[in-house]
Amino acid sequence: MRLHRNLVYTTIDSLNAIFNEGEYADKVVARALKKDKRWGSSDRKFVAETIYEVVRWKRLYAEIAEVKEPFDRDNLWRMFSVWAVLRGYPIPDWRQLEGTPERKIKGRFDELSKVRALKESIPDWMDEMGVKELGEKVWATEIAAQNQPAKVVLRVNTLKTTKENLRAILMDLNIETDTLKNQPDALVLKERANVFMTDVFKQGFFEVQDANSQLVAAFLDVKPGMRIVDTCAGAGGKTLHIAALMENKGQLIAMDLYESKLKQLKIRAKRDGAFNIEYRIIDTTKVIKKLHQKADRVLIDAPCSGLGVLKRNPDAKWKLRPEFIDNIRKIQSEVLESYSKIVKPGGKLVYATCSVLPSENQEQVERFLTTDIGKEFTFIKDQKILASESGFDGFYMALLERKEEVAKPPKEIKEAKA
């Protein structure tokens, strides 16, 4: 086990782009993996995992290395040296790593790990918010779980294949998978693999989608032939799942504020063979008004803090701000009141987030039910999913049903009463 200079240099360049240039970790990693075609799978695995590890533990490593932002290249090398020592790598005789204090690094790690915000490498405000909303015990276990790397989960595209068939094809490619109880379309990779390079992915046999994210479409109680609206479709992971559950029968309207996201969804839908999807950009309020009381089912996968998906987006820990979360709560309230009007009487609505904060979840639903439009809905059930309990992403989903319209009394009855 030794460090290779070209891989480490790529890692340092990538960390500079993420920490100092504001780029998103997933985009930076994707670019880094294309840097050298000669790299094998183990080389690419080292680059991707090391970048994500240093991003995940940024605060802790910076404290141990005694460096502060903005990080110059010497600072980044010092943080990398902390990672290498704690992972048990022999420190090579390179100029950038001269004088690495291995014993001091291990000692400071033990000392700083006594403070949760440092041990779990999160901002103080995030730790305080987590304790306030979930309580000390739950938050401690949840943030620890959120610091574990995310598993790779596939969702079988039932428009094109079966779970059994896909498992067999992947097995032939030396990609082993496990099934999940009560998750009919989910396959979990036993070891990470670049599944996007496989022919079966290019043929649309599966999508990569977290196991708990796959619960949302099923929660919507979808049936073939319905008219369904996904109001915050984005690039369409849940939209495509809904299309599969509809068996391509009925009308599925995918909406979003951003045309670029819907373009990505169109590409994915074509690959997946999902052809019952219509695309609408929410560029005016008229787009929503035209659909008032028209849909059997509405999904509001609301914008949120993302505090349920830190394990797959560790850089969000450093990009999030308390004021952003305050603002997103207001947007969630507005979206819920506005988009709920699309549900027809007797139809159902799912409000979902990838957050674990009650203020973004059940408290939003409780507040909504007191509004004028909310009073037209009945709460059916909800599901609060913590990463610490499930092993996958944190999610929340609530199912509401719009009450059937109360029949108005005939004119003669009204007159008789008068």
Looking at the predicted structure, is the pLDDT value of residue 405 above 90?
no
Secondary structure (3-state) at 230: strand
pTM of the predicted protein model: 0.94
- Which amino acid would we find at residue 253? I
The question of whether 232 is a catalytic residue gets the answer: no
What are the backbone angles phi and psi of residue 218, rounded to the nearest 5°?
A: -65, -35
DSSP state of 9: H
Is 301 marked as binding a ligand? yes
The conformation of residue 22, written as its DSSP 8-state character, comes to -
β-strand pairing of 277-281 with 295-301: unpaired
Domains of the chain: 5-114 (no CATH), 210-402 (3.40.50.150)
70 pLDDT higher than 90: yes
The H-assigned helical ranges of 184-226 are 199-202, 214-219
pLDDT at res. 217:
97
> Where does the pLDDT of residue 415 fall: very low under 50, low under 70, confident under 90, or very high at 90 and above?
very low
Task: Please give the pLDDT value at position 416.
Answer: 45
User: Binding site annotation covers 283?
Assistant: yes
Q: Half-sphere exposure of 391 toward its Cβ, with a 13 Å CA cutoff?
A: 6
Instruction: Judge whether 326 is annotated as a binding position.
Output: no
Catalytic residue among 242, 354, 385, 399: 354
Residue 414 has pLDDT above 80, yes or no: no
**Which residues make beta-bridge pairs with 188?**
153, 178
Distance between CA atoms of residues 182 and 115, nearest Å: 38
The fraction of the chain above a pLDDT of 90, given in percent, is 95
Q: Encode pLDDT of 71-123 as tens digits.
A: 999 999 999 999 999 999 999 999 999 999 999 999 999 999 999 999 999 99
Please tell me the predicted confidence (pLDDT) of residue 410: 54
Any idea which residue has 């674990």 for tokens?
356
**For 358-401, how does the pLDDT look when each residue is reduced to its tens digit (9 = 90+)?**
999 999 999 999 999 999 999 999 999 999 999 999 999 999 99
The answer on pLDDT for 152 being more than 60 is yes
Round the average pLDDT of the chain to a whole number and report it: 96
Q: Would you say residue 418 has pLDDT above 90?
A: no
pLDDT for position 406 = 52
- For residue 407, pLDDT over 70 is answered with no
Tokens of 152: 């790779």
Residues 418, 412: Cα–Cα separation, whole Å: 10
Work out the pLDDT band at 35, boundaries 50, 70, 90: very high
355: phi then psi, degrees, rounded to nearest 5: -120, 155
167/201 Cα distance (integer angstroms): 13
Q: Would strands 206-208 and 227-230 be described as parallel, antiparallel, or unpaired?
A: unpaired
User: Quick one: pLDDT at residue 1?
Assistant: 83
Q: First CA to last CA across the chain, in angstroms? A: 91
List, in order, residues 6 or more apart from 83 with CB less than 8 Å away: 50, 53, 54, 57, 61
pLDDT tens per residue across span 323-370: 999 999 999 999 999 999 999 999 999 999 999 999 999 999 999 999
For residue 408, pLDDT beyond 60: no
Helices (H), 155-293: 163-172, 199-202, 214-219, 237-245, 259-272, 286-289
Residue 417, pLDDT > 50, answer no
Contact 50, 83 (CB under 8 A): yes
Find out whether 214 and 206 touch, Cβ atoms under 8 Å.
Answer: no
